[in-house]
Amino acid sequence: MTDSDPTTARFPRLARARAAAGIAFSQLSHARGRTVLTVLGITLAVLAATLLAGTGIGVIQTGQQKFDAAGRDVWVTGGPVRFSPAGVGGFENTIVGAHELDAELEAHEDVQVAVPMAFQTVYVKSNDTDYQTLIGVGSPAHGGSVQITNGSGFSSRDVHYADGNYSGPMTHEVIIDQRTADMMNVSIGDSLYIGGTTGIARKNEFTVVGISPTFSRFLGSPSVVVQLSELQEVTGTTGTDKATIMTLTVADDADPEAVADDLEAEYPAYDIRTNKEQLKEILRDQAVLMAAGGSLVFLALLAGLALTVNILLSHVYHQQREFAALKALGTSSSTLSLTLVVQALVLGTVGGILGVVLSFPAARGLNRLAKLVVGFGDIVVLPQSVLIGGFAIAFLMSLISSLVVSRQIAGIRPLEHL
């Protein structure tokens, strides 16, 4: 390219850009190892950003779907659920007088259904297996929100409570999920022994009457579901009639927020929330975990930026004589700086594209792992905004790196290197 070139004479800026691009591609091709390392660093930074952002969005979407699928409008708790190592069952359930509170809430004009639920760890065994510790759920387990995939479900309501004296007959019926069925090698009609201690479990034989994924999806672990009063009986909590949580379905023409406000004023000792408020509370409890994830993304972006700056500085350091020679031949510092910008943008573009493309198989892998661990997938979702954001991060990271390193070009003195 010379001044006699008609294109150079008519479009000097275009000619400068072509020259800078030629030098940039030549240097990237010459130092292939450093180029691959830089692209890999940017790719990992983009992957970290897209997967964590996708996880955050996926958790919120999945949480909303689970709340919608539960078919409930208002949630009542007596405070956070705590472990109680000294007591049978392992959980400190905080709603006292659950059956009476259930009757009072169902008498409210805007409440259609109130369902108390208790969670306790219980010992479970079948005729073919040893004792295993599972989560026991005390719940009516009926209605449209409970999916029964096999069997018929409970044959009657909670008759054992008997107006508070727990003298009614126990149905000794249990609903389990498929993982519990596989673990215990049982099916419909088989027996399970359930209790808060192994001694109590030996005396309480339950018949499997249904297979349901509903509660195991909610809890994320294998579980056994029995009537509330029967769980209280086998875990020794009948004296205080405790429950963990109570869910309400409001009337069709009622506003859940207004019902929650009314009940909160009437029952100040309990935390009463709508679906949206309950999801926010759950996410707030995971604030430390979310902050840790955000810190990892920040560190990944910082590492990607540092790696890009480092590789461009390395280009300048190892090719000072070549840059000095180009300067001595009349190439301006701005042209050489433009070379670095082109290099950085090429690295950022390739790393950004790879990061976005690899996000899809990485998300599928994480979702499969989540399904194996917690029982449901779709934890990581990748909307278009997350993918565009990931690529934009790579582009901006590269642009900032090139601007930082371009100062080194301006400082090169040809006479010191030639």
The reply to whether 260 and 288 lie within a common domain is no
The reply to whether 124 and 26 lie within a common domain is no
Asked whether residue 417 is assigned to any structural domain, the reply reads no
Confidence (pLDDT) at 398: 78
Res. 368: pLDDT tops 80: yes
Listed in order, strand segments (DSSP E) in 149-233 are: 150-151, 173-176, 191-195, 205-211, 223-226
Q: Are 210 and 152 in contact (CB under 8 A)?
A: yes
Rounded to whole angstroms, the Cα distance separating 19 from 66 reads: 58
Please list, in sequence order, all residues whose beta carbon lies within 8 angstroms of the beta carbon of residue 211, skipping any fewer than 6 positions away.
148, 149, 150, 151, 175, 176, 177, 178, 181, 188
Average pLDDT over residues 229-240: 89
Among residues 269, 295, 320, the one where a domain terminates is: 269
The reply to whether 36 and 90 lie within a common domain is no
Res. 294: pLDDT tops 80: no
The reply to whether 246 and 349 lie within a common domain is no
The reply to whether 161 and 50 lie within a common domain is no
Confidence (pLDDT) at 1: 45
Asked whether residue 397 is assigned to any structural domain, the reply reads yes
Of 1 and 184, more confident: 184
The reply to whether 143 and 241 lie within a common domain is yes
The reply to whether 213 and 153 lie within a common domain is yes
Asked whether residue 71 is assigned to any structural domain, the reply reads no
Determine the structural domain holding residue 228 and report its residue range. Answer: 79-269
Confidence (pLDDT) at 323: 74
Please list, in sequence order, all residues whose beta carbon lies within 8 angstroms of the beta carbon of residue 350, skipping any fewer than 6 positions away.
39, 42
The reply to whether 302 and 404 lie within a common domain is yes
Instruction: For 34-94, give the DSSP string.
Output: HHHHHHHHHHHHHHHHHHHHHHHHHHHHHHHHHHHHHT-SEEEESS--EE-TTSTTSEE--
Confidence (pLDDT) at 381: 84
Q: Are 227 and 136 in contact (CB under 8 A)?
A: no
Count: domains in the chain: 2
Rounded to whole angstroms, the Cα distance separating 344 from 11 reads: 24
Using 50, 70 and 90 to split pLDDT, how confident is the model at 357? Answer: very high
The reply to whether 302 and 362 lie within a common domain is yes
Of 192 and 79, more confident: 192
The reply to whether 115 and 143 lie within a common domain is yes
Model confidence over 38-67: pLDDT tens digits? 788 788 888 888 888 888 777 777 777 776
Residue 16's SS3 state is helix
SS3 of 360-402? HHHHHHHHHHHHHHHCCCCCCCCCHHHHHHHHHHHHHHHHHHH
Q: How many CA atoms lie within 13 A of 85 on its CB side?
A: 0
Average pLDDT over residues 5-11: 55
The reply to whether 217 and 341 lie within a common domain is no
- Bridge partners for 281 per DSSP: none
Of 212 and 8, more confident: 212
Res. 163: pLDDT tops 50: yes
Residue 195's SS3 state is strand
Q: Are 114 and 102 in contact (CB under 8 A)?
A: yes
Res. 85: pLDDT tops 90: no
Share of the chain above pLDDT 90, in %: 19
Model confidence over 141-157: pLDDT tens digits? 666 667 888 888 888 88
Asked whether residue 276 is assigned to any structural domain, the reply reads no
- Bridge partners for 125 per DSSP: 193
Could you tell me what percentage of the chain is helix, strand and coil, using 3-state DSSP and rounding each to the nearest 5?
55, 15, 30
Using 50, 70 and 90 to split pLDDT, how confident is the model at 202? Answer: very high
- Average pLDDT of the chain? 81
Rounded to whole angstroms, the Cα distance separating 272 from 245 reads: 10
Res. 238: pLDDT tops 90: no
Phi, psi of 183 (to 5 degrees): -65, -40
Asked whether residue 135 is assigned to any structural domain, the reply reads yes
Of 192 and 413, more confident: 192
Among residues 227, 243, 269, the one where a domain terminates is: 269
Using 50, 70 and 90 to split pLDDT, how confident is the model at 194? Answer: very high
Share of the chain above pLDDT 70, in %: 79
